[in-house]
Amino acid sequence: MSIPFIIRPRTPEDRAACLAINIAGWQTAYADIFTPEEIAGAFDRTIPITSSSGEGRGELLDVFVAEWDDKVVGFITISQRNDGSGEVGSLYVHPDHQRQGVGRSLWMAVIDFLRGQNIETVTVWTLERGGAVEFYERLGCTRFTVDTITIGDHEERTIGLKMPAP
């Protein structure tokens, strides 16, 4: 059975769609965690976001998108950390296209990309209460640490997960 979407590198024309997916992802996944005002403020930068989990993140290596019927429905970013490992900074799929293999396919595209770069490990951070921890564990990631993210005065625990990029 063929999948109804393709994974490809992001183009400049995809930026607006990726931002819209990112916002929709936060509004859906974190609706029971952050207020709409906190989410809006995080995106329009009127509310500060702090987290030490991004420390050590180096150069953005690439961004891949999932395209379904000529429409971007998901994206994933990959950076190289200062220690030489890879780090997924964002993986979001539009709520209308979740649970259809898009996120898993984006993840696998990054794993393939890292292999080609001779990067042996990938890490990702996610909110402990956001629901994605189990998704990453099903992909083979293991928890290795906890941290926090603060949006304004609202602090939440984050989980760091990692896996080899065999």
Mean pLDDT of the chain: 91
The mean pLDDT of 71-76, rounded to a whole number, is: 96
Q: In the chain, what percentage of residues exceed pLDDT 90?
A: 78
The mean pLDDT of 97-105, rounded to a whole number, is: 92
CA-based nearest residue to 136, from 145, 149, 123: 123
Determine phi and psi for 15, rounding to 5 degrees: -55, -45
Q: Cα separation of 117 and 52, whole Å?
A: 26
> Who wins on pLDDT, 135 or 59?
135
Q: Cα separation of 72 and 108, whole Å?
A: 17
Per-residue confidence (pLDDT) for residue 58, from 0 to 100: 76
Write down the pTM of the prediction: 0.91
Residue-wise pLDDT for 3-24, tens only, equals 788 899 999 999 999 999 999 9
The mean pLDDT of 117-133, rounded to a whole number, is: 92
Topology of domain 5-119 in CATH is: Aminopeptidase (3.40.630)
C-alpha distances in angstroms, 75 versus 5, 31, 82, 116, 135? 12, 20, 23, 19, 16
